[in-house]
Each structure stands twice: as C-alpha cells, then as structure tokens.
Chains A and B, each alone.
Chain A
C-alpha cells in the first residue's frame, strides 16, 4: 500500500532564507512522486514530479526535490524564499500497485516572514 507522510504541518521562514519541506513515502513498487502548491482559496498547481528518471527534479519557481530511495524521502527545497511562496504544499505518491491513484499527504503550510 502507498502512503505519504509530511513531517511538518507548518514551516516558518524569513524571506530570502532557504526552504525545506519534508516528505517521506511508503510504496511497494517504484513510485511516482509529486509536489503540488495551493495558494489561499485557489486550486492545485503542480510544482514538480518524479517518475523514475533523474533523481534530482527541478520544478517551477526555483523549487527542486530529490528522490532518495534508501531514505524513502522526497523533500522539497528552495534556496531563497519569497513572500509569494506562502501557501499550502502537498506531497503526493502514485504507484502501479495502487492503480496509480494519487495519495496525498496532509499538507505543510509555508509561512514566509518579511
């Protein structure tokens, strides 16, 4: 069975400092992993995806994530936070054994201070 754990419900950073949002997954098969962002009262926007190609994945707006099979992790990072990054972030796993049904983590709220 597939599952995702987002290790922090809230992360608070200052503008211009690095961002780290942590995600661990459980999967019996080779998983595909995704990060989505949701700004207040908006829909879901795909930030980046890992689908068994390069383990370091670059996404939009300067975000990237690294797939680490040995640690079952897919943490999201950004070198320098911007005020516009304040939002809810979701880690999602999808695998063949789960019929590729997207399974969401509970989300991490990123707060960016001026």
Chain B
C-alpha cells in the first residue's frame, strides 16, 4: 500500500520555466490537497479538491494551477516559475467524513 506518492522528489528550475508536480493516492480518498512549506510559516494551503471534478483556492494560490485528473491524481502546475516559489511542496488526501489526512513525502523545489 503506497499511500500518497509525489513525483519528483527534487527539482531545480530556472526562473520562467514551467513544471508539473504529480500526486497520486491509492486509498480511494475523495479529498486532495496541495501545501507549500516555508521556514517559520508552517504548511500553507495552495489548492484543494473536495471531490473529483472540483478544485478550490486555498490561502496562497497565486502562481499555481491544479488539475484533478481523476479520483487518484491531483497535479500542481507552475506556469512560469519564480524564485519565491522555492519551497517544499506536500500533497495530502483524506476520505469523506474522516478528519485525518495522509501526506506524501514532499517535493523540494528550487527556482534559480
């Protein structure tokens, strides 16, 4: 049972480049989330998807787009990367009615 899988684990981008962070879960969860972690700020919500076919903005959505490709997969896209997007990104998922979320191992992104 893999849980929540994020790819890639590490990435270095140049300013202006684009990339997509992938997240997949095998627990049949309805809700999925993308967070970014910065020193002293905890984890802040970028976007979430309460169910397949829906997405909503979180606290820090600017510069990002998401796609809920199907129930398993929720991707995060940076169209034009900026140094301010250097961060560690976490994906999480949760089943309906159960508060506990399960987290992936994170993607460390550096934008130079």
A49-B98 Cα distance, complex, nearest whole Å: 12
B94 lies within 8 A of chain A by Cβ: yes
| With A102-B33, A104-B43, A106-B42 as contacts: A43 and B101 at CB distance below 8 Å | no
Number of interface residues of A (CB under 8 A): 22
> Interface residues of A: mostly helix, strand, loop or mixed?
loop
A55-B43 Cα distance, complex, nearest whole Å: 26
| With A49-B100, A51-B99 as contacts: A44 and B90 at CB distance below 8 Å | yes
B residues near A107, Cβ cutoff 8 Å = 40, 42
Distance in angstroms from A93 CB to nearest chain B CB is 9
A10-34: contact bitstring with B at CB < 8 Å (1 yes, 0 no)?
0000000000000000000000101
B66 lies within 8 A of chain A by Cβ: no
A residues near B33, Cβ cutoff 8 Å = 101-102
A residues near B48, Cβ cutoff 8 Å = 101
Contact call B40/A9, Cβ cutoff below 8 A: yes
A106-B104 Cα distance, complex, nearest whole Å: 19
B residues near A90, Cβ cutoff 8 Å = 42-43
Give the top 4 A-B pairs by smallest Cβ distance, nearest first.
Answer: A32-B99, A104-B42, A43-B105, A94-B99
Residues of A within 8 A of B (CB): 6, 9, 32, 34, 42-44, 46, 49, 51, 90, 94-95, 99-107
